[in-house]
Structure formats: C-alpha cells, structure tokens
Amino acid sequence: MIRAFRAEYYKIRRLSILSGSIAMVGLSILAAYFGITRIHDRPDALVEIFRLSQPDGLVTLLQHAATLLLVISLIVMAASMGEEWSHGTIRNLLAVSPNRILVFAGKYAALLLYLALASALAIVLGGLIAWWLGPGNGITTSAWTTAAGWNALATFAGNFALCLVGWTVFGAAVGILLRSAAAAVGIAMAYLLVLEGLITLLLPNVGKWLIGELLTVVIQGGTPTMQYSAALFWSGVYTVGFLAASMLLLVRRDITA
C-alpha cells in the first residue's frame, strides 16, 4: 500500500491531474469574486448583504464553490482509476504488489490527500478574496472572525471533508467498474447532471434519497426537507456500499488490460 501511495505521486505531477487543482483554485476564486461584486445586481441585494454579514456569511459564499470542487474531485478520481486499464498500467502495479485491494487503497489514499490539499488551497484563496472584497461591497466581515464565525467555518470544513470522501469513493467505484477513464467520467457526469437531476425533478420523494442529493444536504448542514443526521447516515451507507462493490470487483474480475 505504501509503495502504491508513493508511486501515485509521480502520476499526480502530470498536467492532466494537476489541471484539476488549477480548476479548483480558479473556480473558487471566481465564485467568491462574482458572489460579492455582483451582489448589488440582485433584486434582494440588501437582504443578501445582511445575510453575508452574519457569522456564517463566509461559509455561505464558500458553499457556492464547494459543489464545483466536489464535482472536480469526482472527475479526477474516476479518470485516474479508469486510466489504469486504459493505459495498461494495471499489470505493472500488480507486478510490484499482487494484493489488488492494497494497491488500489494506496492509490486512492494518495489521490484523496491530493484532492483534499487542492480543495483546502482553493477554499482558503476563495475566502481571502471574499474577505478582501466584502467591505468594499457593503458586507461587514468582522462577524466572520467571531467564535460563531470560526465554528461555522470548522463545521463547513468537516462536512466538506465527509462529502469529499463520499464523492471520491463513488468516482473510484465507477472507474473500477468501467475500466476506462473516458467512460468513467462520462457515466459519472451523466448520472450526476442528467439522471439524478431528472429523478429529483420528476420524483422528488425518491430523488432526495439519491447519493448526490444526500451529499448536498450534508455540505449544507441540513435542509428544511432533510435532517443532517439522516443525510449523513444514508450517505455513509452509500459510501460503504460503493467501497464494498469496488473491493469485490477488484478481487473477482480478471485483469485483461
């Protein structure tokens, strides 16, 4: 597992993987910038300014970018897992260590750490941009540094970390199932943006129990229609299920790449 963990960091330095962190940072900065500078264009500008001036105002801004960061993490994980078969490198990995589960556990751990660090950098930079631009746009940022503000930020960071694990385990499962980087990314995005969206729109009582909707509730800390504890529990059930399915596929399926 340690060898696979270390080996993955040579792959992470490739532009195709590093572009994920670049996109994270860029999107987080843009979300913070436009979330503040365009606030006066909204019909409820005064209400929004008041809301963002509360202790959890910074978290409200950061949540705009959080979903995008999680989607990018899903894409990176699915593509990285799938490309081991697409590029035929899976045999090389298993030649060094024949234990498939340990090899992919090391690979997943390395990618998760990379995505966590990239997300943290993106969130910090987005927060700094918001802090810098807020006062000039009528937002009082002093409440963000109160005890309540730091508590809200810590809660957001914890929820984001939980969602990051959930989305990346889902991405890893799709990559291992499809054994192709392109197919893994395509199917994952089709499910997230099309299938789950349609089910939620047409059958809201069913859609709210799907993985994407549940993790959205977790990152928001709960919604009027779903309690945080329920969303966290069922997200955990999905995550454990994806993890078990991934391990079963790794053990049972032949390596044909």
Tens digit of each residue's pLDDT, the chain (257 residues): 666 666 667 777 777 778 888 999 999 999 999 989 888 888 888 888 898 999 999 999 998 889 899 999 999 999 988 887 776 677 666 666 667 788 888 889 999 999 999 999 999 999 999 999 999 888 989 999 999 999 999 999 999 999 999 999 999 999 998 888 889 999 999 998 899 989 989 998 898 999 999 999 999 988 888 999 999 999 999 999 999 998 898 877 766 55
pTM, rounded to two decimals: 0.90
Angle at 106 between CA 238 and CA 100, to 5 degrees: 80
Contact 33, 25 (CB under 8 A): no
Rg (CA), the chain: 20
DSSP characters for 48-100?
HHHHHTSTTHHHHHHHHHHHHHHHHHHHHHHHHHHHHHHTT-HHHHHHH---H
Domain limits, the chain: 2-252
